[in-house]
Amino acid sequence: MGILEKIYDRSPIFIQNLMVTISGYQKNRSRYGKIYYRYLHFLKDFDKLDLEDKFEYQNKELISFIRYVYENSKFYKNLYKGIDIESIKCVGDLKKLPIVDKEMIRANINDINTISHKGAIEGHTGGTTGKSLVVLMTPEDFMKRMASLDHFKSRVGFENLKMKRATFNGKHIVPPKQNKKIFWRYNAACKQMIYSSFHITEENMKYYVNSLNKYKPESIDGFFTSICDVASYIERHNIKLEFQPIAIFPTSETLTKSGRELLERVFKSKVYNQYASSEGAPFVTECEKQVLHIELDSGVFEHFEKGNDEVLITSFTTHGTPLIRYRIGDSMTFDEKSKTCDCGVRSSIIKEIQGRKLDFLYTVDGAKINAGNIANLFKNMPNALVRAQVIQNKIDEINILLEVDKRLYKAEYDNLLKDEFLHKFGDKTRIVIEHLDEISREKSGKFRLIKNNIN
């Protein structure tokens, strides 16, 4: 633990708010420089372009990015030996280049990087496979990425830094010994109330809701499951909200249909999804019509192979740790037909983001059941269920952990749930239900609906 954290932990809460704010102002300096504002301006103009002009821009960016990487990254120079780099002139030519995966990046990180740690912004990638990776971003790329995210929000009416946001994340803002029921801190530099994901329990929930009602955020962002937990509590206890956010922007988790519906019902506000990994992948964002658009200025998405929805990404904002045809581990269904959207922004459209491979469970026969389908199995008991987690350690056994509202939960629900799961997974699967007072979170503060420990 650093000296600053020690001071933080021992300070009264108003000093902690001040420290969070000072750190916020420091971060803003690397986020909101000249390049940020210039790129924000560029994106507004880019939105108005025709699809052909956007593709032309994308090809140009691709050519210059690949040249830069070839000249500056030892790893890629070796990897592309014998390939005529000059012959890569458009997205279609990318097929001439080999695919890169996470293990290759991890094992060769020093040869891949084109910049040193000094002055770079680090991106940490997680954890679903246990493999963690630190990527380096140039300050220019980092600012462009910030501009892209803020532009996405501004399209649906939320202006970052000008409007109030509530963020649910995995920052350690509450000292371990704190007794007061104050699980949030204010970062005045970003008009942002940060809520701790680690302390979201049934018991503490009323304090969170009171705080939200007092703060009246204009947007809510951060961990999807944390926001869902709060929404579920508000609905179950029939609490009146004294604010209506403009938008909800969940991050870092695969969204479920039932969760989205819950958030939109409770907060009376639309949910806008985004795909933006910490490795620095190109962006996919949802527009005001709730259609997923590929942000063509940010990079390229390809499918891994025909008939497989797994994507390869090439990202133009990864000059530090370049990612070209990188197998990121996420799956998406492309909408090959529609190129227009009622929102007016023309781009390639994504039908669905399925998320990480590990967001699946297996049937005995090896078929995959994805997170969305699993979430659906719980929908018949929305008001009695606080939280659930489904774990698979063996191919023929599914463990369901339940945290329930004891006032509303009926004993027969266990059997109902078992039936739903058997129906989906087949009779050869053993379904084991266990009730817990509290299901624990990941170290990152995120909550996982599914844990697939097979392999």
Which residue ranges make up the site for Zn ion (CB under 5 A)? 287, 289, 291, 341, 343
DSSP 3-state assignment of 415?
A: helix
Nearer to Zn ion, 127 or 344 (CB): 344
Nearer to Zn ion, 268 or 289 (CB): 289
Torsion of CA 201, 202, 207, 209, to 10 degrees: 100
CB of 289 to Zn ion, least distance (A): 5
CB of 61 to Zn ion, least distance (A): 22
Cα 205 vs. chain centroid, distance in angstroms? 23
Name residue 401's beta-bridge partners: 389, 434
Name residue 136's beta-bridge partners: 122
57 phi/psi in degrees, rounded to 5: -60, -45
Instruction: Report, in angstroms and rounded to the nearest whole number, the Rg of the chain calculated over CA atoms.
Output: 23
Q: Are 100 and 355 in contact (CB under 8 A)?
A: no
Nearer to Zn ion, 291 or 385 (CB): 291
CB of 350 to Zn ion, least distance (A): 11
Give the span between the Cα atoms of 122 and 89, in whole angstroms: 31
Nearer to Zn ion, 230 or 291 (CB): 291
Nearer to Zn ion, 345 or 400 (CB): 345
Which amino acid is residue 425, in one-letter code? F
Residue linked to tokens 């962006």:
283
Nearer to Zn ion, 293 or 356 (CB): 293
Instruction: State the DSSP H helix or E strand holding residue 65, giving kind and residue range, or none if neither.
Output: helix 51-72
CB of 352 to Zn ion, least distance (A): 15
Q: Are 361 and 392 in contact (CB under 8 A)?
A: yes
CB of 344 to Zn ion, least distance (A): 7
CB of 153 to Zn ion, least distance (A): 15
